Amino acid sequence: MLNIQKLLINYNFSNRNESIKFIVIHDVGETGSTAQNNRDYFSGGNRGASADFFVDSNNIIQIIDYINNYSWAIGDGHGAFGKTNGNSVSIEMCLESNGQPSEKTIQNTLELTNYLMKQLDIGISNVVRHYDCSHKCCPESFSDNNWAKWNQFKARLSTPTPTIKFRKVLKVIKSNALCINPITGALVKKFKVGDLLTAIDSDSVWWVLTIGEISKANCVEVITPIKSTTITSTPTLGTVTATTLNVRESPNVNSKIIGQLTKGEKVKIDCKRGNWYSTFYGDHGGYVSADYIK
């Protein structure tokens, strides 16, 4: 997924006082605009409207602190369909000159939606159109042929991370260049003989880890129990208490920083290793200090 650019604005939002239950998909209506164009417009004063994210072919821009505030995107429905600004987060797709979002824009929107589904623990049935909130024809670019493109969009969404079936500690025994790969096949990390890993699922070919997957063929053996890697169950959601919290590649302070979370942000927690939480961060996961999560 593209990095989310947090370019927060000072107007056009209200304080959030209820949990987020819905992700609402829109398009901006105006052709030829960019995510930055839209951000600049809503940052220029009181517009009486807004959205939380704007997405184009090359950018994902967040303009509202959606954990603590809500945008003004679906107020026209007045809550008649159970969906309000206060219980939703809204994503606007930018349109090309032909009135359609580019394939890159759609893919970026899918990836952002999947990220938010995991972070906020929202199921596919609660990813909705603006139309489902007020009967406004939006995203209009998806409305032809009885919303065929919307149905395709929903079909391409991934389900949230499945319930963990088991956990096993694995030890690398044969490969000095054992690689973790996400579904896309891109290299995430290399391991050496003797490294310990944690598997949360498997099939006949792959071990699924908290940060990706590795081939089972001649790579690992199951070692259990290993006292130094005891894993305890934790709540599924936590809130960041630090002003800025580093997300690290491994559970130690010297590990590479792969991202940052801000105060008040919600994180989905998988498990606890020592004083570190394994979290669902981006598309590959990461570790944060348990001292700064409540």
The tens digit of pLDDT for each residue in 67-80 reads 999 999 999 989 98
Domains of the chain: 4-156 (3.40.80.10), 168-227 (2.30.30.40), 232-292 (2.30.30.40)
The DSSP code for 124 is G
Please compute the mean of the pLDDT values over residues 140-164 and round it to a whole number.
81
Contacts of 274 (CB under 8 A, 6+ apart): 251
* Band of pLDDT at residue 139, cut at 50, 70 and 90: very high
Tokens linked to 31: 């052709």
Flag whether the pTM goes above 0.75: no
Cβ(156)–Cβ(43) below 8 Å: no
- What is the CB neighbour count within 10 angstroms for residue 80? 11
Please compute the mean of the pLDDT values over residues 156-168 and round it to a whole number.
58
Q: Which residue has the higher pLDDT, 249 or 99?
A: 99
The tens digit of pLDDT for each residue in 238-288 reads 889 999 999 887 778 888 888 888 888 888 787 777 788 888 766 556 889
Burial 155-170 (b: 16+ CB within 10 A, else e): eebeebbeeeeebbbb
- pLDDT over 90 for what percent of the chain? 51
* Band of pLDDT at residue 233, cut at 50, 70 and 90: very low
